[in-house]
Structure 1
Amino acid sequence: MSDSFLALDIPEQPAAAQPYRVLARKYRPQTFSQLIGQDAMVTTLGNAIKRGRLAHAFLLTGVRGVGKTSTARLIAKALNCIGPDGQGGPTIDPCGVCEPCRAIAEGRHIDVVEIDAASNNGVDSVREMTEAVRYAAVSARFKIYIIDEVHMMSTPAFNALLKTLEEPPAHVKFLLATTEVHKVPVTVLSRCQRFDLRRIPADLLAGHFAHVVEAEGVEAEPEALQLIARAAEGSARDGLSILDQAIAHGGLDGEGVRADAVRQMLGLSDRGAIRTLFDLLLKADGPGALRALRAQYDLGVDPASVLRTLLETVHAVTIVKVGGDRGPGQSAEERAAFDGWSALSFPMLHRLWQLLLKGHEEVSRAALPIEACEMALLRIVHASSLPDPGTLAKQLAAGQVPAMGAPPAPAPAPAAEPVAVADPVPETAEQVAQLLSKHGRHSLEAQFRNCARLIRLEPQLIELSGARPLPADFTRDLENALKGITGSHWRVLIGEGTGEPTLREQETAKAESERDQVLNSPLVQAALAAFPDATLDHWQRSDGSIAR
């Protein structure tokens, strides 16, 4: 080969571009110290590892994106870490540099098996796993099975897993993750140590996002990060996905992540404009409120988002009035406005909440959302001129309100229909059933009477026994119904124990007891003795009703 050929200037081949990793994957926690908002669980796990009291099965539950799968992988690393020198044992602070830690983090460890129950939910898949459980780990201290979305397994698959889940070999650990724990059978729940991962507070999420944008070299306004944190609704993964989109939305001109751009991207209403709208509603300025709403609508803001932000405003004012924590991220203008509005009476604030909540429900399912939103705001405008029921009662007692037939006094605003008084919070199972019947939920009331065995009833919390099968989606339907009726979020849980008899069983037992009392009365005994073929078809109860 000639020297002239060797001297040819051959251009170097460009290095292959690395594929972009989204922020939700790039910043997935690799240690327990990076897992935000779950301090109680980390403390419990740390103490269990130090004392050698490790359960054989863990159940991790919580809303999407709070770290269930990440926590399962961290537990796998904590149990199998051998330290940089290869001599370490289980630890709550895995080193991250030993071969087991690196292999688990990269998803290639042969003894850490991740199973997606959504696509492997049959009994055959479970049988394959239970067969493999018998064999010892290849290289790790523990063989670990991570079953994600475990609630999607079929009933036969759950049954096939029960025995192995209760008494697995000493070298096996099960880590189950689910977003819908109420769909997991009680027999499975009783065999696991359960950890409920909490929604991550907005201030913690905003702080986490600040570290992320700093690491990415992106400028971001604190208010923009607060908006993203609130939109994430406690989910770190959702928040990072929104932040990824917001960074891309900023483009290549170096604008970074701005609050106004985030509002436009998410379809959120400007908080300053919402304060103006809220003030117009309190002043009963109907035309001004409609103009303010249309201005937001013309900017692309969803009408339901306007009502949702108004609901947040009423809630924030109420919290300020009771002396609660204002929450992070409030500007000086917001603080001043909330301090002024805190002079509103509690009945007025509760009435505003109920009217806005009803309006939000109407707009969410309306064929004409903006028109439905306008009607909802006008209803609030007219209702704001009415006195609350307590003040009205005092006026009537003092003779300040004209009697029927007397000439009406001039009113500052047109009269409106009075706001309905909210139903009292139910304190017994019978009151829950009556509340469902009153609001037309007759099918759900029948299911509640016939199937629900009450263990515990507290404000916004109902715990029912799982000993008796309940209809599919019953807990979800009951939560949604009570939320729609009372305006508050309710939790319906399935617990252990037999609970109280169902309402139908109580009614049957009461009727049998009354029948026995009637049959054993001297008069009826004498009649049956005189007429041996006679039967008791019906009788009159003490309240005058007829029983059969």
Structure 2
Amino acid sequence: MDGTISPESGFESGAKKDDAYRVLARKYRPRTFDDLVGQEPMVRTLQNAFETGRIAQAWMLTGVRGVGKTTTARILARGLNYEIPGEVEQPTIRLDKPGIHCEAIMEGRHVDVIEMDAASHTGIGDIREITDAARYRPASARYKVYIIDEVHMLSNAAFNGLLKTLEEPPEHVKFIFATTEIRKVPVTVLSRCQRFDLRRIDAEKLVSLLRDIAGKEGIDIADEALALIARAGEGSARDSLSLLDQAIAHGGGHIGSEHLREMLGLADRARVIDLFEQVMKGDAAAALEEMKGQYEIGADPVVVLSDLADFTHLVTRLKIVPKAGDEASVTEAERTRGREFAEKLSLRLLSRAWQILLKGIAEVQAAPKPLAAADMVLVRLAYAADLPDPEEALKALRDGTLPPAGAQQPGSGAGRGAPQGAGGQPVQARMSTAQAGPASSGHGPSARMAGSPSAQLRPVESAPEPKVAEAPVPHVPTRPEPAVNGPGSLAECAALAAEKRDIPLKVAIERNMRLVSFEPGRIEFQPTPDADADLAGNLGRKLTEWTGTRWICIVSRTQGRPTLHEEREANKRQLLTDARSEPLVAELLAAFPGAEIVNVHVRAPEGDTPSAEAVPENPDEGEFDGDEQDPNA
């Protein structure tokens, strides 16, 4: 099956002529399995089943709108009851000649083929009528066929009432279900049916179908217009035929691509490609002008961005699969220019543009002013076009490389405009001035932008800048001296709690408090997620009671230093790492496979008094419980 319609086809147009106009979707509705376009796997399965006599009791047809679920159900019912006296006496999919039941079945008026819309018959009472009538044999046909459309709309009670009959139906009863929401159908029903997923029709077959129907209707239509209809139909034959019907009325006998764009509110495809080129160059000004021009002739900003995303997807496919340009839905302009872009643009750039467009389309749809939102998406695309990839940015920072002085970035044309720095001077110019040397740069912030990122860290040898008097920074001792009436550090608070036998508070201080600041009488800390909600109040009350001086404990959102427990664990890991790196220890570990270092004792040099850092503050917990240990001791 190639998806074409021959004059001998069994379509309704060849069956009867009505005075009243019938839309193309009904006039050219398929009547045989050969007329089904793009559903070859299902047809092959049914053909083998009918020829071997392995006919199921129920079928589930699912797929998007317009792919032919209800039509396929009628054709299947016709094949089950196909009969020509003296020639055909059994089910078949070869429906070359009209049978005695075919016309009534295809028109939905046969007494033994009952169609029910589950959207309007959702209750258990409707299903009870089916189960009661299923006991009786068909009036004239071979099988009594029940076609239930939109079956997912049935209620739970209706589904449950259908299960028994569906599992063990009489030999003369067949069920055909159709739905667009297969996930809403209970598994108990799906397990009793043969499921067929009707596919979207390929664009090439859809274009061929539309061309044949247009020829039968005597309509002159351009190939590009057919491709536009097939693309807008999104694989749905009914949607595509409805658009063709509308285009015939709009074009008045001749349909060109410009008529389709005007009717659908689409932007010119060539202009969309021009817009793509402008944003990829980083020319934001030209892109905004192009968007404004398309908007003024009636193009919807959402549609323009959607077309831009489609072309981005096409260029990406052409880069990966060059044969993708040979599809019938791809116009010559898209094919030629798309391959040019595919050779020049990287996959990372195309992927980034796709992500920006995908998010931007949703923003434009929800924005009160779609044109303004679309403009901002284009600006975002243009400025992201020449951004370095993360690997390139890291490499530039690591190597200390920057673009040459005065060199324009890709896409930084006049239409885009250079970013302005302080005083209105462009950043590029400021960087060029800085790189010219002390003779031209003088002093100031610009001079520190010369060369590379590392140059910003070098001292400037030019004229000294005026210094601003700064308050002297007070010296903060590593271990504050304890106050007269209280502890002088968080570690001493934990030691005081241990001395007072308040072990829960000691553990909370060590494991749940990230110290922000410590002053006599005032502690500010950030609690850990598993800290007690009343930790600050409890600690303040206990310290006030133990010291006789008022203490205030404040919970802060500022990121604090690691907890005492985390610092001890970090010191322990560092000591173990340092120990493993000692040559003698490494030789011992190599000589005794499986040996491990379980502890490290920090000893003061001989003749020296042990420092506070080398002596554990809490001997009960081992050598790693000091507030601040020196890893190099």
The one-letter code matched in structure 2 to 1:71 is: T
Give the structure 2 partner of residue 270 of structure 1.
268
- TM-score norm. by structure 2 comes to 0.60
Distance 2:380 2:300 in 1: 19
The residue aligned with 1:64 is: 65
The answer to whether residue 77 in structure 2 is matched with residue 79 in structure 1 is: no
**Separation in structure 2 between the aligned mates of residue 201 and residue 84 of structure 1, nearest angstrom:** 39
Aligned residue in 2 for 1:314: 312
Amino acid at match of 1:115: M
SS of 2:83's equivalent?
coil
The superposition leaves residues 332-368 of structure 1 with CA deviations (integer Å, 9 ceiling, x where unpaired) of 4322211221121111111111111111110011110
AA aligned opposite 2:346: S
2:328 maps to what in 1?
A: 328
Q: How many residues align?
A: 394
The equivalent of 1:352 in structure 2 is 353
Change (3 A) 1:166 1:225: same
Aligned counterpart, 1:339 = 339
Please tell me whether the aligned partners of residues 83 and 89 of structure 1 are also in contact (alpha carbons under 8 angstroms).
Answer: no
CA distance in 2 between counterparts of 1:233 and 1:332 reads 20
CA distance in 2, matches of 1:169, 1:113: 16
- Report the alpha carbon displacement of residue 105 of structure 1 after superposing the two structures with TM: 1.7
Larger deviation, residues 192-201 vs 79-88: 79-88
* Structure 2: distance between partners of 1:90 and 1:305: 48
Alpha-carbon contact 1:61-1:178 (below 8 Å) kept: yes
Distance 1:384 1:361 in 2: 21
Distance in 1 separating the partners of 2:156 and 2:105: 30
Say if 2:207 is the partner of 1:206: yes
Query: Displacement of 1:286 after TM fit?
Result: 1.3
Counterpart in 1 of 2:100? 99
Provide the C-alpha distance between the structure 2 equivalents of 1:286 and 1:36, rounded to a whole number of angstroms: 44
> Which amino acid in structure 2 is aligned with residue 62 of structure 1?
G
Give the letter aligned to residue 400 of structure 2: G
**Alpha-carbon displacement from aligned partner over 1:36-76 (angstroms, at most 9, x marks no partner):** 01000000000000011111000000001100001000111
Q: Contact conserved, 1:94 with 1:101, CA < 8 A, in 2?
A: no
Tell me which residue corresponds to 1:296: 294
Larger RCO (CA within 8 A; separation ≥ 6): 1
SS at match of 1:356: helix
Inter-partner Cα distance in structure 2 for 1:149 and 1:290: 46
2:384 corresponding residue in structure 1: 383
What CA distance in whole angstroms lies between the structure 2 residues aligned with 1:85 and 1:299? 65
Distance in 2 (alpha carbons) for counterparts of 1:169 and 1:151: 24
Tell me what 1:261 maps to: 259
3-state SS of paired residue (1:169): coil
Q: State the alpha-carbon separation in 2 of the partners of residues 346 and 245 from structure 1.
A: 39
Q: Is the 8 A contact 2:82 2:88 kept in 1?
A: no
Q: Give the 5 Å matches for 1:175-254.
A: 175-251=176-252, 254=253
Distance 1:32 1:350 in 2: 42
Q: Structure 1 CA distance, aligned partners of 2:88 and 2:75?
A: 19
Cα distance between partner residues in 2 of 1:183 and 1:17 = 39
Q: Is the contact made by 1:82 and 1:89 (CA closer than 8 Å) also made in structure 2?
A: yes
Query: Structure 1 residues 232, 188: CA separation in 2 closer, same or farther (over 3 Å shift)?
Result: same
Structure 1 equivalent of residue 21 of structure 2? 20
Code of the residue aligned with 1:168 in structure 2: it is: P
Q: CA deviation at 1:415?
A: 6.4
Q: CA deviation at 1:397?
A: 2.9
Could you tell me how far apart the structure 2 residues matched to 1:409 and 1:377 are? 26
Contact 1:263 1:269 in 2 (8 A): yes
Q: What are the ranges of 5 or more consecutive residues in structure 2 without an aligned counterpart?
A: 1-16, 413-417, 421-633
Shift of 1:19: 1.1
- 2:230–2:329: 8 Å Cα contact kept in structure 1? no
Distance in 1, matches of 2:363 and 2:83, equals 58
Aligned twin of 1:526? none
Measured in 2, the distance between the counterparts of 1:237 and 1:411 equals 52
> In the superposition, relative to structure 1, how do residues 173 and 261 fare at CA in structure 2: closer, same or farther (>3 Å)?
same
CA contact (8 A) 2:207 2:328 kept: no
Kept after mapping to 2: 8 A contact 1:122/1:154: yes
Q: Relative to 1, partners in 2 of residues 1:376 and 1:303: Cα closer, same or farther, differing over 3 Å?
A: same
Is the Cα contact below 8 Å between 1:58 and 1:192 reproduced in 2? yes
How far is the alpha carbon of 1:24 from its aligned partner?
0.5
Aligned-pair distance for 1:18?
Answer: 1.4
1:241 and 1:202 mapped to 2: Cα distance? 16
Kept in 2, the 8 Å contact 1:121–1:153? The answer is yes
Deviations, residues 181-212 of structure 1 (Å, cap 9, x unaligned): 00101110111000000111111111100111
Q: Please give the alpha-carbon distance, in whole angstroms, between the structure 1 residues aligned to 2:290 and 2:89.
A: 65
Q: Matches of 2:349 and 2:331 in 1, distance apart?
A: 25
> SS of 2:221's equivalent?
coil
2:169 maps to: 168
The verdict on how the C-alpha distance between 1:69 and 1:96 changes in structure 2, with shifts beyond 3 A counting, is farther
Q: Is residue 2:162 matched to residue 1:152? A: no
Task: Measure, in 1, the Cα distance between the counterparts of 2:419 and 2:389.
Answer: 13
Q: How far off its partner does 1:390 sit?
A: 2.2
Aligned residue for 1:499? none
Q: Which amino acid aligns with 2:42?
A: M
Instruction: Give 3-state SS (helix, strand or coil) of 1:145's partner.
Output: strand
Residues 392/261 of structure 1: CA separation in 2 closer, same or farther (3 Å cut) = same
Deviations 1:265-316 (A, max 9, x none): 1111111001111111111111111111011101111000011011111111
Aligned partner letter, 1:272: A
* Amino acid in the other structure paired with 1:330: V
Q: Secondary structure at the match of 2:158?
A: helix
Q: Secondary structure at the match of 2:225?
A: helix
Q: Secondary structure at the match of 2:255?
A: coil
Offset of residue 159 of structure 1: 0.6
RMSD of aligned C-alpha atoms? 1.9
User: Once the 2 structures are TM-superposed, how far is the Cα of residue 104 of structure 1 from its aligned partner?
Assistant: 0.9
SS at match of 2:127: helix
CA distance in 2, matches of 1:118, 1:174: 17
**Structure 1 residues 250, 332: CA separation in 2 closer, same or farther (over 3 Å shift)?**
closer
Deviates more, 1:84-93 or 1:233-242: 84-93
Tell me the SS of whatever aligns to 1:99: coil
Q: Deviations over 1:435-479 (max 9, x none)?
A: xxxxxxxxxxxxxxxxxxxxxxxxxxxxxxxxxxxxxxxxxxxxx
